[in-house]
Structure 1
Amino acid sequence: MKATARCPAVLIAAPASGQGKTTVTAALARLYTRKGLKVRVFKCGPDFLDPHWHQLASGAPVHQLDLWMTGEADCTQRLHAAAQEADLLLIEGVMGLFDGDPSAADLAQRFGVPVLAVVDASAMAGTFGALAFGLQHYRPGLPWAGVLANRVGSARHADMLRSGLRAPEDWLGALMRVTASADAGAARSAGALLPERHLGLVAAHELSDSQQRLDAAADALEATPLGQMATPDLQRWAVDFPAPVHLPAVPALLEGRTVAVARDAAFCFIYDANIQLLEQMGARVVFFSPLQDTVLPACDAVWLPGGYPELHTAQIAANTGMQASLRAHVAAGKALWAECGGMMALMESITLADGSTAPLWGLLPGHVTLHKRLAALGPQQVDVAGHTLRGHTFHYSTSDSSAPVVARTSRPGEAPAPAAGEALYRQGSLHASYFHAWFPSSPEAAAHLLGGVPA
């Protein structure tokens, strides 16, 4: 293994959420992939939706980087491995550049990755320069690539923004307002290129014109100085990524076991790294659709990940075959791990945002209520069989269940409290929680939830 791997890299950040960094990251990935470069994209922090777009744009797996949730050693290993095979690494930040602990800025400084700031300049002129200057100099020693003005109204507007910069070389261009046209081709002004719903962006696989939307964004970006950089120009952002220290071997805790993972429009919040870890632990992973399939595939354990069960309640309730198959699976003492949306689907009923109530599968006692505002958000950890499993929580619903609570999650650096955090329910061989787990943070805990480690 090489001691270091050198590769151009840039971290795409912003002053706040909603500035357009996901669109810019995906457009960059699509543009340089079209030019024949091998691009690898990472997402800073926990996120299931943005990676769908980045994977479609780059044609390569997208993994998360987070100095707390995934850990510095994991980040080091993934970046070094990607740098050995790629021509360009892109890291999409999270929230604002300095928001969170750890923040995107922390990651950039730890690995020496220059920051490309994306600023929604639709309602500013000279202040754009002040904002760019502040982002660059707020923290001494922050690696810096430059600034891209997003959602710009005209060429004259772009000139006003550029003239406000103290360092002209920081200007990476102006990206005009773009969206997909009715024929999913040309770029036009106004609207949102990547549509959103209550949990974030609509996943790329849910839209028939996703590739055309990405091409429209890439076409718009190609007209900027950033988009016109040739392969040799990218070397100004070359970074030496260190090789990881010796990492312990992944224990074969699921050797010989088959894990069935739900994956469809209702259950789609899956970290690729989680699937990778299951296979490294010896599991055979098979996928199924709780919406379409009427029986489980032959398996030893089931994982119901999060997603959008609230958008598919009629189909879930109507699939009595899958309901019976899941019930028989648990009755046989086989492990079932359900997180967030997966847990919601196992409850008895749900009250939707419009006030109507719909039945669910009823494997867990209790009721779910969907709200119009966030109910919980942030990094979390939980003790599972004596091992600490890290992850996060992000949901718009609340639940009321009489199922036994065997643990509660806590925030980083805090001890669990009886009435705080997310409940980890256990009923027989079924574990369920709003908590989204990052399996590599504790292979032992992940294997326990899937029946691979004795209680």
Structure 2
Amino acid sequence: MFSAFCLTAPNSGSGKTTLSIGLMRLLAKKNAVQAFKCGPDYIDTSYHNTASFRTSYNLDTWLMGEEEVQAVFQDKTKNCDIAIIEGVMGLFDGKFQKKAETKRKIPSIPGSTAHIAQILSLPLIMVIDCKGMAQSISAVVRGFYEQSKEYGLNLAGIIANNVGSEKHYAMLKESLETWNLPPLLGYLPKNSTASFKERQLGLSHIFRTNPNLEKNIDELAAILSEHIDIEKLLSVTQYAPPSFDIPARPIKTSLKISKAPKIGIAYDEAFCFYYPQNIEALKRMGYACSFFSPLKDKKLPNVEALYFGGGFPEIYAEKLSKNTQLRTEIKNFAEDYGDIFAECGGYMYLCSSLKIKSDTKSKTKKETVPAQKVTEQAKTKQYPLCNVFQATATMGNKLRSLGYREGIFLEKPFFWQNGQKTFHGHEFHWSDIELHAKYDPFLEVNQKPFGIRYKNVFASYMHFYFAHLLT
């Protein structure tokens, strides 16, 4: 018996990630569990990897396209017993489309959990935060149940979060039964002992978690085993995979050499935002991938190209800056026309320096001044970095840009082998970069230049999914 389901919710913050992690660990103890994450998320997948003991993969219909989502899901679920797909935001939240942009009466919503469930025919399990709620759960579920049917979706069951007591749970369950709605499969008690630290991007990346992570995940799994009817969950989510009509897309590479070129991929606590499909695609193209750490390694590996993903260079700025030997090697590699591709945090690392402002707050003790009055003094530290670009990256204290992006290539990076000129990408950053020299852009977004190119170095704030564009 094969089960697969998409764990969704009415909105962000309902407990999808916590439930996903706990269920993955609980079920992975006796089954092969394949994890997925809807949307362009790097953080949650890092937890999935640990909880499920397998690599988690992103699914995003807007970023990847429907066929690619189907191809990835079909390929990665070949040898597993259970597939758990963690949704993104609320069930129907995705890239906004005006009604006039589609001919469908009820349009699909690209990038949404609903769209993923549609094209994969996945049953839905909805997590609802029931703090301060009892009989009203039926009104919430009824709305999502009816709208799900309009989209051809199967809302198969409900899991309640933040349940205060067995009496509270009984009230929730009775309300759903009264209205003949999908069953309540269990709950996560209020004030559960397992906790996960949060920061700007939600959960901290797996590299930065506390040493008790494994213990916390096991505790969470134990709690769920007591409060969720796992047999019923697997029963209502039995899954017969549809036959996807996916055309074969063999890699057509222009790498006509006898020995595979090597690409060095920066991977450590500072640079950890990569779609695993992208790494796999580079290997299929013929690249031999060699991983190195800008934090720890003093020398570059013997490679013909470099790839710097996003991550947290601002957190490790001092340590990155102190590694002068590697910074010099990267600078020389660029000046010698080595191929380099950098996304977001990698773009920051290639700048001349990184500025970070730290706010120190001190409260006055004078009784004549209100206790709420706070004096702020901003201290700025500047860390020298690779100096490939004459530019200064400045870390801000608020989000600078977030969202899907689409545009065209003015010039293509070294590995972009196909003839397609358009691209879909995702942007998310808290920093700004000030250029101190003129550089040509290599992208155009909304008819405006985007990203910069220097010799054979391509860098921007864009995160690309390029696994399906290398044909």
Q: So what's the TM-score if we normalise by structure 2?
A: 0.84
Extract unaligned runs of 5+ from structure 1.
Answer: 1-5, 180-187, 411-415, 445-455
Of 386, 394, 403, which residue of structure 1 is paired with 2:428?
394
Structure 2 partner of 1:3: none
Is the Cα contact below 8 Å between 2:442 and 2:453 reproduced in 1?
no
Partner of 2:187: 174
Residue matched to 2:416: none
How many Å separate the matches in 1 of 2:432 and 2:135? Answer: 44
Corresponding residue for residue 426 of structure 1: 453
Measured in 2, the distance between the counterparts of 1:57 and 1:318 equals 34
SS of 2:19's equivalent in the other structure is helix
**What SS does the corresponding residue of 1:352 show, helix, strand or coil?**
strand
- Counterpart in the other structure of 2:35: 41
User: How far is the alpha carbon of 1:272 from its aligned partner?
Assistant: 0.7
> Aligned to 1:164, what secondary structure does the other structure show?
helix
Change in 2 beyond 3 A, CA 1:176/1:353? farther
Equivalent position of 2:202 in the other structure: 200
State the partner residue of 2:404: 379
- What is the deviation of 1:269? 0.4
Check whether the contact 1:44–1:94 (CA below 8 A) recurs between aligned residues.
yes
Change (3 A) 1:122 1:360: farther
Report if the CA contact (8 A) 1:129-1:162 is conserved: no
TM-score (norm 1): 0.87
Cα deviation, 1:130-161, whole Å, max 9, x if unaligned, reads 11211221242221121111122222222232
Q: 1:267 to 1:106 in 2, by over 3 A?
A: same
- Equivalence for 2:88: 94
State which drifts further: 249-258 or 141-150: 249-258
Q: Quick one: which of 439, 448, 462 aligns to 1:404?
A: 439
Instruction: Name the % identity.
Output: 31
Partner of 2:122: 113
* Aligned residue pairs, count: 417
1:442 positional shift? 1.8
Deviation at 1:393, TM superposition (A): 0.8
SS of alignment partner, residue 62 of structure 2: helix
CA distance in structure 1 between the partners assigned to 2:182 and 2:114 by the alignment: 21
Q: Corresponding residue for 2:143?
A: 134
Partner amino acid, structure 2, of 1:398? D
Counterpart CA distance in 1 for 2:306 and 2:14 is 38
2: CA distance between counterparts of 1:313 and 1:49? 20
Report the counterpart of residue 382 of structure 2 in structure 1: 358
* 2:9/2:90 contact within 8 Å kept: yes
Question: Of residues 150, 161, 171 in structure 2, which corresponds to 1:160?
Answer: 171
Partner of 1:321: 325
Q: Distance in 1 between matches of 2:261 and 2:439?
A: 27
Deviation of residue 76 (structure 1)? 1.3
Per the TM alignment, residue 262 of structure 1 is displaced from its structure 2 partner at its CA by 0.3
Encode CA deviations 1:256-307: one digit per residue, 9 max, x unaligned.
2100000010000011111100000000000000011111111000011100
Equivalent residue, structure 2, for 1:17: 12
Report if aligned partners of 1:340, 1:395 keep a CA contact under 8 Å in 2: yes
* CA deviation map 1:182-201 (0-9, x unaligned): xxxxxx3xxx7222111221
Unaligned runs of 5+ in 2: 96-109, 359-377, 413-419
Query: Is the 1:38–1:88 contact (alpha carbons within 8 Å) kept by the matching residues of 2?
Result: yes
Q: Give the match for residue 417 of structure 2.
A: none
| Residue aligning to 1:26 | 21
Could you tell me how far apart the structure 2 residues matched to 1:396 and 1:123 are? 34
CA contact (8 A) 2:123 2:237 kept: no
Q: Which amino acid aligns with 1:17?
A: S
**Residue 252 of structure 1: CA displacement?**
2.8
Task: Describe the superposition over 1:407-433 as per-residue Cα deviations: whole angstroms up to 9, x where unpaired.
Answer: 4453xxxxx3226xxx21001111110
Which residue in 1 is equivalent to 2:363? none
d(CA) in 2 for partners of 1:168, 1:95:
23
Query: Is contact 1:28-1:227 (8 Å) kept?
Result: no
Change (3 A) 1:127 1:65: same
Residues 22-52 of structure 1: CA distance to partner in whole angstroms, max 9, x if unpaired?
1111111111111x11111111110111011
Q: Output one character per residue of 1:7-36: Cα deviation in whole Å (capped at 9) or x when no partner.
A: 3210001111111101111111111111x1
SS in structure 2 of the partner of residue 296 of structure 1:
coil
Distance, in Å, in 1 between the alignment partners of 2:351 and 2:290 is: 24
SS, match of residue 156 in structure 2:
strand
| Counterpart in the other structure of 2:230 | 227
Q: CA deviation at 1:353?
A: 4.3
SS at match of 1:328: helix
Larger radius of gyration: 2
1:297 has 2:301 as partner:
yes
SS at match of 2:20: helix
Q: Counterparts of 1:112 and 1:439 in 2: how far apart (Å)? A: 25
Distance in 1 (alpha carbons) for counterparts of 2:20 and 2:168 = 23
Kept in 2, the 8 Å contact 1:83–1:241? The answer is no
Between the aligned partners of 1:261 and 1:168, the Cα distance in structure 2 is: 49
Tell me if the contact between 2:357 and 2:381 (Cα under 8 Å) persists in the aligned partners.
no
Note the C-alpha offset of 1:374. 1.5
Q: Distance in 2 between matches of 1:353 and 1:91?
A: 38
Conserved in 1, the CA contact under 8 Å of 2:264 and 2:307? Answer: yes
CA contact (8 A) 1:94 1:104 kept: yes
Matched with 1:124 is 133
Question: What SS does the aligned partner of 1:323 have?
Answer: helix
Provide the secondary structure at the position in 2 that maps to 1:43. strand
Q: Is contact 2:299–2:326 with CA below 8 Å preserved after alignment?
A: yes
Is 1:334 the counterpart of 2:334? The answer is: no
Q: 243-252 or 114-123: which moved more? A: 243-252
Q: CA deviation at 1:202?
A: 1.0
